[in-house]
């Protein structure tokens, strides 16, 4: 979130995964709102807590006409885990468009990153609600951040939330 917005201290980050336990909203000038949701995979939390997070996410996501896209962050350094697949299935069931974004891409050599993107592309093709293109980013080097910003900005262009029926 910090790399995306260009503010180092907008979202607090912890060295311990799974510290986000609620929905955190970031209003970007009234044109776009980003929502940071609890982690679900590598988070050091009990299985029941992770299941509660999935329920929270599903309840928030379904039936939300103003929701343009979910950005699902995957660590490029590790294999896609069952918990990642579970969230993708949850998003498919909720009929919510989502885009896979690889983080920490700077930790991979270019050939390994290309293979990872190819594997993620194959994964995407098997999911009905997945956006067809994955992105690779690095908060450390800034690689891919401008592209992700442009993708999100394109979602905000011409979108009038006032024209949507209220929930």
Q: Identify the three-state secondary structure at position 162.
A: helix
Question: What is the tally of structural domains in the chain?
Answer: 1
> For residue 69, is it within any domain?
yes
Residue 118 domain-assigned? yes
Res. 39 pLDDT band, cuts 50 70 90: low
165 in a structural domain = no
Query: Which domain range does residue 75 map to?
Result: 2-158
Q: Which two tokens stand for residue 82?
A: 């069952």
pLDDT digits (tens, 9 = 90+) for 125-158: 999 999 999 999 999 999 999 999 999 888 887 5
- The first and second tokens of residue 77, run together, are 């350094």
Least-confidence region, from 14-23, 57-66, 84-93: 14-23
The reply to whether 149 falls in a domain is yes
Question: Is position 8 within any domain?
Answer: yes
Rg (CA), the chain: 16
**CATH number of the domain that residue 13 is part of:** 3.40.50.300
Predicted TM-score (pTM) of this structure? 0.80
Q: Does residue 91 form part of some domain?
A: yes
**What whole-number distance in Å separates Cα of residue 88 and Cα of residue 100?**
9
pLDDT digits (tens, 9 = 90+) for 99-133: 999 999 999 999 999 999 999 999 999 999 999 99
**Which residues does 120 contact at the CB level (< 8 Å), separation at least 6?**
74, 80, 100, 102, 134
């Amino acid at each position: 979130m910090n790399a995306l917005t260009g503010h180092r201290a907008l979202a607090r980050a912890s060295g311990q995964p799974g510290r986000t336990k609620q929905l955190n909203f970031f209003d970007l000038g009234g044109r776009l709102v980003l929502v940071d949701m609890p982690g679900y995979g590598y988070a050091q939390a009990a299985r029941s807590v992770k299941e509660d997070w999935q329920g929270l996410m599903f309840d928030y996501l379904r039936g939300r006409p103003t929701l343009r896209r979910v950005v699902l962050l995957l660590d490029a350094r590790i294999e896609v885990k069952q918990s990642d697949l579970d969230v993708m299935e949850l998003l498919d069931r909720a009929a919510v468009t989502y885009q896979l974004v690889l983080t920490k891409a700077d930790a991979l050599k270019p050939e390994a990153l290309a293979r990872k993107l190819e594997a993620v592309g194959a994964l995407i093709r098997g999911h009905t609600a997945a956006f067809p293109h994955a992105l690779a980013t690095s908060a450390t080097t800034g690689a891919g951040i401008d592209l992700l910003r442009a993708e999100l900005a394109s979602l905000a262009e011409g979108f009038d939330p006032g024209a949507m029926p209220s929930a």
